[in-house]
């Protein structure tokens, strides 16, 4: 997708959620489109509520000439349909995640694995080691949430090289920090040694335009190809992360 003075070019932009966050992201995409910073074939806002904020604003004509439509569906159901198209078909598509959504990319990989290997045991394991981030929380379902920020960040922060919260250079990047985790041997004192991680797949939400961060859809679909190859070799554990430079959601997909 072009950078610099050329407009960003997308096939489909999928906005997860049509409420407070999704309506703001759609507004910003519309502004970028109107000012020639972005070209897109279609913007699809996914929400199970047919009367969500985006629906109201569409009825009011708030998005101008932006080719936007509302898809009334549960997020998981839509992602199954969309991401199952595969990396090639998705090469110009992108997803705008919601800050408060579940770890939908990990959930999608698990559903793909369950369909590929019916009856095979799988689960989300807790991390073997805690990431070296200032803030983190382990959830009861095995997922782990991490952040380099110990303060409240605005939803429209583009994570610039100079952090506005501390008024100093941002000397961290979550993909770099998480990329070190698979090199750490897995060992829990007093317990049998567990298998090390086979590898990691990460989905980096990067600021694209007008305060909107996006994840390339092809990267999500390509992760399924990698999990398929690793899981085809036998039992394995794969670290799955969705993250920006500052924040992330992690989980270990364990296949028996």
Extents of the domains making up the chain: 1-73, 102-255
Q: Supply 105's token pair.
A: 């990319």
The answer to whether the CB of 235 falls within 8 A of the CB of 216 is no
pLDDT of residue 57: 97
pLDDT of residue 122: 96
Q: Is the pLDDT of residue 126 over 70?
A: yes
pLDDT tens-digit series, residues 21-75: 999 999 999 999 999 999 999 999 999 999 999 999 999 999 999 999 999 999 9
pLDDT tens-digit series, residues 167-216: 989 998 999 988 877 544 445 556 555 557 888 999 999 999 999 999 99
- In the predicted model, what is the mean pLDDT of the chain? 91
pLDDT of residue 215: 97
Average pLDDT score over residue span 76-89: 96
**Prediction pTM value:** 0.90
pLDDT of residue 103: 92
Q: Please enumerate in sequence order all residues whose Cβ is within 8 A of that of 33, keeping only pairs 6 or more positions apart, or say none.
A: 39, 40, 64, 65, 66
Q: What angle do CA 187, 189, 192 make, to 5 degrees?
A: 60
Average pLDDT score over residue span 72-85: 97
pLDDT of residue 193: 55
CA distance 229 to 236: 10
Backbone phi and psi for residue 177, each to the nearest 5 degrees, phi listed first: -65, -45
Helices (H), 98-232: 104-116, 174-179, 217-232
pLDDT of residue 191: 59
pLDDT of residue 66: 97
Q: Is the pLDDT of residue 101 over 90?
A: no
Report residue 129's pLDDT band, with 50, 70 and 90 as the boundaries.
confident
pLDDT of residue 132: 86
Average pLDDT score over residue span 69-85: 97
Average pLDDT score over residue span 105-109: 97
């Amino acid at each position: 997708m072009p950078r610099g003075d050329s407009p960003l070019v997308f096939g489909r932009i999928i906005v997860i959620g049509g409420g407070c966050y999704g309506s703001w992201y759609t507004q910003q995409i519309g502004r970028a489109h109107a000012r020639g910073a972005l070209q897109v074939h279609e913007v699809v806002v996914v929400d199970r509520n047919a009367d969500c904020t985006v629906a109201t604003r569409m009825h009011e004509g708030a998005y101008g000439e932006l080719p936007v439509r509302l898809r009334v569906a549960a997020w998981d159901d839509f992602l199954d349909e969309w991401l199952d198209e595969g990396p090639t078909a998705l090469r110009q598509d992108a997803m705008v995640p919601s800050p408060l959504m579940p770890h939908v990319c990990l959930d999608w990989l698990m559903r793909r694995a369950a369909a590929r290997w019916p009856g095979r045991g799988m689960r989300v394991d807790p991390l073997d080691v805690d990431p070296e981030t200032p803030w983190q929380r382990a959830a009861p379902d095995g997922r782990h949430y991490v952040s380099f920020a110990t303060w409240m960040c605005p939803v429209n922060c583009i994570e610039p090289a100079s952090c506005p919260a501390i008024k100093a250079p941002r000397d961290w990047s979550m993909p770099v920090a998480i990329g070190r985790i698979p090199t750490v041997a897995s060992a829990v004192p007093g317990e049998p040694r567990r298998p090390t991680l086979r590898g990691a797949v990460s989905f980096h939400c990067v600021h694209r335009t007008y305060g909107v961060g996006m994840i390339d859809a092809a990267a999500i679909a390509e992760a399924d190809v990698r999990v398929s190859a690793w899981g085809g070799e036998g039992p394995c554990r794969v670290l799955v992360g969705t993250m920006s430079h500052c924040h992330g959601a992690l989980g270990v997909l364990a296949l028996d």
